[in-house]
Amino acid sequence: MGQNFLTDRSVIARTVRLVAATEGPVVEIGPGDGALTLPLQRLGRPVTAVELDRSRARELRRRTGPLVTVVEGDFLRHPLPASPFVLVGNVPFDRTTALLRRVLHAEHWTDAVLLVQWEVARRRAGVGGATMMTAQWWPWYAFGLEARVPADAFRPRPGVDGGLLTVARRAEPLVAAAERVRYQALVHAVFTGRGRGVRQIVRAACPALPAREAAGWARRHGVTDRTLPRALDAAAWADLHRTTAARGGDGPPAGSTRPGGSGRRRGGGPRPR
């Protein structure tokens, strides 16, 4: 199935420490041979491990204790708990976007510790420029980059490094949940709009926004004529939404985009699991 199994003990230990700092039951994505599952069960919390490979699921079930429930299935279709829980996993690199989209749309989980492709981890955390997906979800989630994981930490060795990405659901969202569709439409309009920089793009995407208020928003967040959408942070996006919403216009109609999309992919390389 093209798996790249995590074998580096220090990375395993670091991942488990990050999970240990959270609270609640754990759902693991793609446990494979149990490199994370076995130490996770020592935390004394219930663990549900969702594994696509039938033979590996059977073997892992034999090796784990009563706190671990091994489920054979695809995480993209697996029903998630209806009460608070924590997500962890060595995410298949070639399925990263689909899995992240499922995670971000899911309810109830509080924290996620995900080992993904390095370039994806950097972009999701907003290092060197955020993707549209990150910007569209920033008001509700805080993304962090914990560490770079060398390709040598996996067997077989993938063609690119991995990255430990943390995601935490914000206790106080920067934008109300009821405004998510319009907020994400605004982000989409700015990311895909024409112009030499954000200030020019915003003027075209938000025609109802007075020039003085647009300039005030730009000053508050250090936005210049050369600033690109990927350089804006969570506070700037949330403030832009509030500023435009106050004038009754968030750019395009609410149904004109695909909220939660990955946006244009920059950099990276091949995406092995």
* pLDDT band at residue 246 using 50, 70 and 90 as cut-offs: confident
Q: Which domains does the chain have, with CATH numbers?
A: 5-169 (3.40.50.150), 177-245 (1.10.8)
In the predicted model, what is the mean pLDDT of residues 23-27? 98
Q: Are strands 162-169 and 141-149 parallel, antiparallel or unpaired?
A: antiparallel
| Contact call for residues 143 and 237 (beta carbons, < 8 A) | no
pLDDT of residue 220: 97
pLDDT of the residue at 2? 58
Whether residue 25 has pLDDT greater than 80: yes
pLDDT score recorded for residue 247: 72
Structural Rg of the chain based on CA atoms = 20
Angle value at C-alpha 82, between 23 and 74, nearest 5 degrees: 95
**Cα gap 84→107, rounded to integer Å:** 9
Q: Is 110 exposed, middle or buried (0-12, 13-18, 19+ CB in 10 A)?
A: middle
DSSP 80-95: PPSS-EEEEEE--GGG
Contacts of residues 80-85 at CB distance under 8 Å and 24 or more positions apart, as own/partner, are 80/27, 80/106, 80/107, 80/108, 80/109, 81/25, 81/27, 81/48, 81/108, 82/107, 82/108, 83/108, 84/23, 84/24, 84/108, 84/109, 84/110, 85/24, 85/25, 85/26, 85/27, 85/109, 85/110
User: What is the pLDDT at residue 186?
Assistant: 97
Whole-model pTM above 0.85? yes
With tokens 């091949």, the residue in question is 270
Contact of 74 with 98, CB cutoff 8 Å? no
Give the pLDDT band (50/70/90) at residue 248.
low
Lowest mean pLDDT among 2-11, 108-117, 231-240: 2-11
Predicted local confidence at residue 192, as pLDDT: 96
Residue 256: the pLDDT is: 46
Chain centroid, CA 178 distance in Å: 20
Condensed to tens digits (0 to 9), the pLDDT of residues 186-232 reads 999 999 999 999 999 999 999 999 999 999 999 999 999 999 999 99
Supply φ then ψ for residue 14, to 5 degrees. Answer: -65, -40
